[in-house]
Amino acid sequence: MKAHSKIASILLVLSFLFLTACGSGNGNEIVIGVISPTTGQSAKMGQDMNNAIQMAVDEINGKGGVNNKKIRLVFADDACDPQASTTAANKLVSENVSAVIGGYCSSAVLPASGVFNSAGIPMVVTAANSEKIPENNYKNIFLLNSTASAQAQTATNYMISNLKGKKIAILNDNTAYSVDLAERTRDAIQKAGGQVVLYESVDPNASDFNSVLTKVKSKTPDATYWTGYYAAGGLLIKQFKQQGVSGSFGVADGSVDQTLIKIAGENNAEGVFATMSPLPQFIPGAKNWSKDYETKFKQAPGPYSALSYDGMRLIIHALEQAKSDDPNAITGAIAKTKGFATFAGPVEFKANGTLTKSNFIMIGVKNGQFEMVK
């Protein structure tokens, strides 16, 4: 009996080790984690990203998978909240995922990336772009969206050179992404010889911004730049127009969505400018893809759908190059990526995990739609 008991104990331990080594999969699948907001104010953006990631996986699985294995996605909701994102990240680690994709809000990506770094799991970030993310110097975190410094410079060039703006007001919502971008834009404007006449933080959950807009109006700015998200951004635009504040109103990439125009009202949103990575409708090679997306999900792709689709394709490419689903091997393959073709152009990363070339462009609202600004 003792011998049988000892053998049973050994078998139990071996079974546990086998299950651990295989992760939550069955040996014939590769498990990839997806972290994004599917609750809260940014839930739409998270679902847009998730749809595109699922689309890329469905396509590769339909062809037999990668390295003779099918990919299975595990989704985790970070709610664009630091605490929720930590819980979501730990959930994915417990699922023994081989890699993670997603990340819309920088405030949520910052703590989550620390969890993934500690676990040695690579993450491809397809939206969040606070400079604080690469400043952590995690070797397994890669940003497919250009960072805040590139966006700040793009915004500054447009406001000072194209709009001939000398007096600029900057508004942020106190989140990591928004503050980082606001600070970098302020510094870039001052370096370019412009004047930041007002720099203010607002509560993104408020519904009345007339108090801060009264301050903005008193400064008679040539342009006002909002670095927060679309829910508050739409209300700011609406009340900005109602107050008759001087100058143009612009938003950063966190506000670029048709929902912004709906909240603001089409007439109020007309002429609003925005800094953004290329949207699918502006990319010749993405037009057919956009139609396929719309057919599959019965809605148009969101602003970060194309980047999320390409981010998943990048992970698939890394799996193929590494010929392994080991997290370290995937990290190494992504780091060595050169010239990987995406809708926004070839991808290559610096040592800190950021793109070697900025992908930010200027767009604007015309007749209720976002269009390229020439």
At 250-292, the pLDDT tens digits run 999 999 999 999 999 999 999 999 999 888 777 777 878 999 9
Q: What is the rounded CA–CA span in Å between residue 221 and residue 240?
A: 12
At residue 374, the pLDDT reads 72
For residue 179, what are the contacts with CB-CB under 8 A and spacing of at least 6?
172, 201, 227
CB 346 within 8 A of CB 317: no
At residue 14, the pLDDT reads 40
At residue 8, the pLDDT reads 42
| Two structure tokens written together for 158 | 């447009």
CB 62 within 8 A of CB 292: no
CB 74 within 8 A of CB 31: yes
CATH of domain 9-146+284-348: 3.40.50.2300
The 3-state secondary structure of 29-82, one letter per residue: EEEEEEEECCCCCCHHHHHHHHHHHHHHHHHHHHCCCECCEEEEEEEEECCCCH
CB 84 within 8 A of CB 108: yes
CATH of domain 149-276: 3.40.50.2300
Which amino acid type is present at position 108? Answer: A
- Show me where the domains of the chain are located: 9-146+284-348, 149-276
- 192-208: burial string, b at 16+ Cβ within 10 Å, e else: eebebbbeebbebeeee
Residue 6 host element (H or E) = helix 2-22
Stretches where the chain sits below pLDDT 50 are: 1-25
In DSSP terms, 340 is beta-bridged to 347
Angle value at C-alpha 344, between 339 and 349, nearest 5 degrees:
45
For residue 7, what are the contacts with CB-CB under 8 A and spacing of at least 6?
none
Q: Considering only CA atoms, which of 253, 260, 354, 346 is closest in space to residue 304?
A: 253
CB 255 within 8 A of CB 155: no
- 115-144: burial string, b at 16+ Cβ within 10 Å, e else: bbbebebbbbbbbbbbbbbbeeebebbbbb
Q: Considering only CA atoms, which of 249, 312, 257 is closest in space to residue 280?
A: 257
Q: What is the rounded CA–CA span in Å between residue 330 and residue 168?
A: 44
Q: What is the rounded CA–CA span in Å between residue 51 and residue 289?
A: 13
Q: What is the rounded CA–CA span in Å between residue 9 and residue 315?
A: 39
- 60-78: burial string, b at 16+ Cβ within 10 Å, e else: beeeebbeebbbbbbbbbb
Strands 347-348 and 361-366 come out as unpaired
Tens-digit pLDDT profile for residues 83-99: 999 999 999 999 999 99
Q: What is the rounded CA–CA span in Å between residue 49 and residue 47?
A: 5
Helix (H, G, I), strand (E, B) or coil at 244: coil
